[in-house]
Amino acid sequence: MGQNKYVNAKTQNGVFTLCKNALSVSFVGMAMMSGAAYAQQSFPASTRVLTPLTVTNQNDLNFGRIVAGTSRSNIRIRRNNNNLNIINGDATPVGGTVQRAGFIIAAEPLTSVQVTLPQNINIRNSNGDTMLVRRFRLNGGGGRIVSRNIDNSGNLSIFVSAQLRIEPTQAVGVYNGSYEVTVEYN
């Protein structure tokens, strides 16, 4: 009769009891498979504050004095020295101060910076006539955007050269302008 009661109990309440027990087992099983219901872990956070970047002008970019020729001319100050080269055309340099621009970059010692030079700029005389300055380059090679390493004193000297375009009908006068050099940490 004990077996009959067991069978009877199972047939009367067994489905509910089995489902209840099965449900309990499945929740416990999921908790065991996914780990604890709560976890916490600490992770480090840090930063390094670097020396602010500064760029100090040492020398202005100066193409000297030039007489326009009968054809379009391009004159370049070489990036590794202050030599003036006539690339094409027949304009004539006639003296004056010729120099590449010079800058000192102050930064965090032993870091790396990216220096960006302009593509082109126009310089103007007092009447608004323009001349094109293009192909800006740094000493040591590379294009307009280059990376350079800062030495252990936190300084980097750079020199900038460029090309000047002189048209055959170039108006007489003193031409001036400015350009931007952008420096940022790599």
Over residues 58-67, the pLDDT tens digits come to 999 999 999 9
Has residue 48 been placed in a domain? Answer: no
Predicted confidence band at 164 (pLDDT cuts at 50, 70, 90)? very high
Q: What is the DSSP letter of 34?
A: H
Helix H or strand E encompassing 132: strand 130-138
Q: How many CA atoms lie within 13 A of 109 on its CB side?
A: 3
Do 81 and 156 contact (CB within 8 A), yes or no? no
φ/ψ of 56, rounded to 5, equals -115, 125
Structure confidence at residue 143 (pLDDT): 85
Query: Looking at residue 172, which CATH number applies to its domain?
Result: 2.60.40
Has residue 39 been placed in a domain? Answer: no
The residue with tokens 């302009």 is: 118
What's the domain count of the chain?
A: 1
Has residue 160 been placed in a domain? Answer: yes
From the CB of residue 119, how many other CB atoms can be counted at a distance below 10 Å? 10
Has residue 22 been placed in a domain? Answer: no
Tell me the three state secondary structure of residue 57. strand
Structure confidence at residue 69 (pLDDT): 95
- What is the dihedral angle through the alpha carbons of 135, 136, 141, 144, rounded to the nearest 10 degrees? -90
pTM for this structure?
0.74
> 125 has which bridge partners?
none
**Lowest-confidence range among 41-45, 51-55, 78-82, 177-181?**
78-82
Q: List the structure tokens of 177.
A: 């302008």
Structure confidence at residue 81 (pLDDT): 86
Max CA pair span of the chain: 127
Q: List the structure tokens of 52.
A: 């602010």
Give the span between the Cα atoms of 151 and 168, in whole angstroms.
45
Report CA-CA distances (Å) from 70 to 123, 125, 133, 164, 184.
Answer: 21, 20, 19, 16, 43
Structure confidence at residue 33 (pLDDT): 56
Do 53 and 116 contact (CB within 8 A), yes or no? no
Has residue 37 been placed in a domain? Answer: no
Has residue 19 been placed in a domain? Answer: no
Domain extent, residue 117, equals: 54-185
